[in-house]
Amino acid sequence: MTTATAAPKGLEGIVAAETEMSFIDGEKGVLEYVGIAIDDLARHSCFEEVVYLLWNLKLPTVTELDAFKAELRGRYALPHGMLERIKRLPKDAEPMHVLRTLVSALGMHDPDPNAIDPKAARHKALNILGHTPTLIAMFDRHRKGEEIVHPDTSLSFAGNFLYMLNGERPTETMERAFDACMILHADHGLNNSTFTARVVISTLSDMYSAMTAAIGALRGPLHGGANEGVMHLLNDIASPKDVPARIEGMLERKEKIMGFGHRVYKAYDPRATYLKTLAKQLAEDTGNSALYEKSSAIEKVMEAKVAAKGIYPNVDFYSATTYHSIGLDLDLFTPMFAMSRVSGWAGHVLEQLADNRLYRPKAAYIGPHGVAYTPIGER
């Protein structure tokens, strides 16, 4: 009897799709979107421009960008009936569970939810991207018993989200910082949630199902949920002087330090490089220096203990401090990742549909054969 050999555990190193969107060199710590270094985009671009780039594989002209922004702003408002849904949600529900449920529910408000021809799929991608910040912000205000703030279409994706969340327009510095976070999280090769989205759409299911599944994958602590884990750890350490004993103890017990390590990067994650500078700046501006100092102390211990194994800070490590300084609640950190990554997931769904083949790998069966059936009364 022939037994299939299993691919490496966790599919490590397996190339399972082609993409033109993002390129990662894990040894050198390089991330590019359509060939452009992530650092250049974070410094000079805006999130809308990056989404245009990912979905069209070229930077937009001024006219194209203006048109794209207008299209996206036209999708900030939710379909009729969604706000009523949000108001019926339990106030103590976790935002990632809420987001997964609401993105799924959007499919019920779409008169043609299953259409996946290129035009329809793009239209739905834009809808979901435009609606996601509104879903999160409206739920946050609902759970806090605050008046719902409706979207302001004169504001950017980043600015409008902070406005809907806080009820006041963000400062330019906060809007710019948050926008950079959105850029940095937009796409990242065949990460787990993106793979999930591609697997789902490969059955020719629908955009809502692909996005909903991807949200579910993202929330795990080994993936996008790590940024909340980082914040829990930071909150749990009283002062930078307590860091060495705490982190060394965790490493000795073989516990994972959230925000460190990566399947692909064995060098410093370039997103973390940018976020580290941003986190420091924002922490100083907002009086959160103690938090930054604790982060920095953790990084020092990790550098001494595990950098030789290729374990460095990943995108989640300094995004925790950054989001805290922007004033976001801890349980909104992973939804922020999702809010941006919707653009990457949708782009990959479009790529998958353009050249689809059903994902259907095999499992190597490792159980027994030829076992005699025992009637239930004899077991």
| 249 in Cβ contact with 158 (< 8 Å) | no
Binding map of ligand CMC across residues 145-164, x = CB under 6 A, - = no contact = --------------------
Q: Which of 175, 194, 224 is nearest to 46 (CA)?
A: 175
**Distance of alpha carbon 9 from alpha carbon 281, whole angstroms:** 40
Contacting range for ligand CMC; rule: CB under 6 A; set: 64-72, 175-183, 304-312, 355-363? 304-312
Residue 224 binds ligand CMC, judged by CB under 6 A: yes
**Distance of alpha carbon 315 from alpha carbon 312, whole angstroms:** 10
Q: CB of residue 209 vs ligand CMC: minimum separation in angstroms?
A: 21
Q: Which of 150, 256, 266, 300 binds ligand CMC (CB under 6 A)?
A: 256
Please work out, in degrees rounded to the nearest 5, the angle formed at the alpha carbon of residue 299 by the alpha carbons of 298 and 301: 65
| 67 in Cβ contact with 208 (< 8 Å) | no
Q: CB of residue 111 vs ligand CMC: minimum separation in angstroms?
A: 34
Q: Which of 31, 103, 257, 336 binds ligand CMC (CB under 6 A)?
A: 257
Number of residues that bind ligand CMC (CB under 6 A): 20
| 211 in Cβ contact with 128 (< 8 Å) | yes
Residue of 140, 316, 324, 348 with catalytic role? 316
Residue 170 binds ligand CMC, judged by CB under 6 A: no
Residues 212, 95, 318, 268: what is their CA dihedral angle, to the nearest 10 degrees? Answer: -20
Binding map of ligand CMC across residues 183-222, x = CB under 6 A, - = no contact = --------x------------------------------x
Residue 311 binds ligand CMC, judged by CB under 6 A: yes
Q: Which of 229, 216, 192, 250 is nearest to 316 (CA)?
A: 229
| Angle between helical axes of 157-166 and 172-185 (0-180°, round to 10) | 120
Binding map of ligand CMC across residues 125-144, x = CB under 6 A, - = no contact = --------------------
**Distance of alpha carbon 221 from alpha carbon 166, whole angstroms:** 27
Residue of 185, 262, 324, 348 with catalytic role? 262
User: Closest CB to ligand CMC among 150 and 256?
Assistant: 256
User: Closest CB to ligand CMC among 6 and 222?
Assistant: 222
Q: CB of residue 168 vs ligand CMC: minimum separation in angstroms?
A: 31
What element of type H or E holds 228? helix 226-236
| 158 in Cβ contact with 375 (< 8 Å) | no
Residues assigned a catalytic role: 262, 316
**Which residues bind to ligand CMC, rule: CB under 6 A?**
10, 191, 222-224, 226, 256-263, 306, 309, 311, 314-316
